[in-house]
């Protein structure tokens, strides 16, 4: 079976309760790409796996109000079992709330909160051990791209995760070039494809052919309704992690890019 298209919406540290209600209403009313289950026109499955990631404080509200086909993700969780860690949220708490996914290793946390490759690897391993599924982020800075070290950087970030986990079944890898995040400067389809193919090759050489062919590698960085189809047309782009545009009705158009894979 092929890799199911995956679209994540990372709301980051945005939104009021009113904003959240509006976004949820838009998603609930949205015409999402789907296919009927053969012989049963009342039932359908979405062409994309869709996961939205509100700030912690809105997670339970969003989870309870959102249509059941769309899942939720936390934007972070603590590196080990909860306890005396003021301000942190543990993986166990997310599991307890029925939150299935967590985003880990986002470049904003790596850069602003000094999360190292090793720390991110530990977080991914702990979250998986508790039964969460993980959207793990990697990506190079502009400086690293210009120095020609993009593949080296993303391979090292991926290796730090691989070193700590025994299965990639519940991991989606998000390639998010730092220079494309929130800048409106999207990677070209060729640039995205080159890194995605490089990561898949890395999986094949360092992990296994099976992990290389089944792990979804999604792209993030200024994805919009107008550039998503061309990016989705790349063979190794298995979906998106969307920031700014996931707060807007445009997110529905981005989910529809899943149709490109089925055309």
Candidates 5, 6, 7, 10: give the one binding ligand 13P (CB under 6 A): 10
| CA–CA gap between residue 74 and residue 51 (Å, rounded) | 10
Candidates 140, 176, 238, 250: give the one binding ligand 13P (CB under 6 A): 176
From residue 40 to residue 79, what is the string marking binding to ligand 13P with x (rule CB under 6 A)? ----------------------------------------
| CA–CA gap between residue 177 and residue 47 (Å, rounded) | 26
Task: Give me 167's structure tokens.
Answer: 């299965």
Report how far apart, in Å, the C-alpha atoms of 234 and of each of 122, 178, 217, 239 are.
31, 20, 11, 10
Task: Give me 37's structure tokens.
Answer: 């289950």
Report how far apart, in Å, the C-alpha atoms of 232 and of each of 5, 51, 148, 237 are.
9, 17, 25, 6
| CA–CA gap between residue 200 and residue 215 (Å, rounded) | 8
Candidates 243, 251, 252, 255: give the one binding ligand 13P (CB under 6 A): 243
Task: Give me 178's structure tokens.
Answer: 């730092």
C-beta nearest to ligand 13P: residue: 243
Candidates 32, 50, 128, 242: give the one binding ligand 13P (CB under 6 A): 242
Candidates 157, 158, 222, 227: give the one binding ligand 13P (CB under 6 A): 222
Question: How many residues are present in the chain?
Answer: 263
Nearer to ligand 13P, 121 or 220 (CB): 220
Of the listed pieces 13-21, 84-92, 157-165, 219-227, which binds ligand 13P according to CB under 6 A?
A: 219-227
Non-local CB neighbours of 88 within 8 Å, separated by 6+ positions: 77, 78, 82
Of the listed pieces 65-73, 79-87, 148-156, 215-223, which binds ligand 13P according to CB under 6 A?
A: 215-223
Residue 224 beta carbon to ligand 13P: minimum distance, rounded to whole angstroms:
8
Residues noted as catalytic? 106, 176
Which positions lie near ligand 13P, rule CB under 6 A?
A: 10, 106, 176, 181-182, 220-223, 241-245
């Amino acid at each position: 079976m092929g890799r199911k298209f995956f679209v994540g919406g990372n709301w980051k540290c945005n939104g009021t309760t009113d904003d959240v209600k509006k976004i949820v209403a838009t998603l609930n009313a949205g015409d999402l790409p789907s296919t009927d289950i053969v012989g049963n026109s009342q039932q359908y499955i979405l062409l994309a796996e869709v996961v939205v990631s509100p700030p912690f404080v809105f997670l339970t509200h969003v989870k309870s109000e959102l249509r059941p086909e769309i899942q939720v993700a936390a934007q972070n969780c603590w590196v080990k079992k909860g306890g005396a860690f003021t301000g942190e949220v543990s993986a166990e708490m997310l599991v307890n709330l029925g939150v299935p996914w967590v985003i880990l290793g986002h470049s904003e946390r790596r850069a602003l909160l000094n999360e190292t490759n090793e720390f991110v690897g530990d977080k991914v391993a702990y979250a998986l051990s508790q039964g969460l599924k993980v959207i793990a982020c990697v990506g190079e800075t502009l400086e690293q791209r210009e120095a020609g070290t993009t593949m080296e950087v993303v391979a090292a970030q991926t290796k730090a995760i691989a070193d700590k986990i025994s299965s990639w079944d519940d991991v989606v890898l998000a390639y998010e070039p730092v220079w494309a995040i929130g800048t409106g400067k999207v990677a070209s389809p060729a640039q995205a494809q080159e890194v995605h193919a490089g990561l898949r090759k890395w999986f094949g050489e360092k992990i296994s052919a099976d992990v290389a062919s089944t792990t979804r590698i999604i792209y993030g960085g200024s994805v919009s309704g107008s550039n998503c189809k061309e990016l989705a047309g790349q063979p190794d782009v298995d979906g998106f992690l969307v920031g700014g545009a996931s707060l807007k009705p445009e997110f529905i158009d981005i989910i529809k890019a899943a149709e490109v894979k089925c055309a």
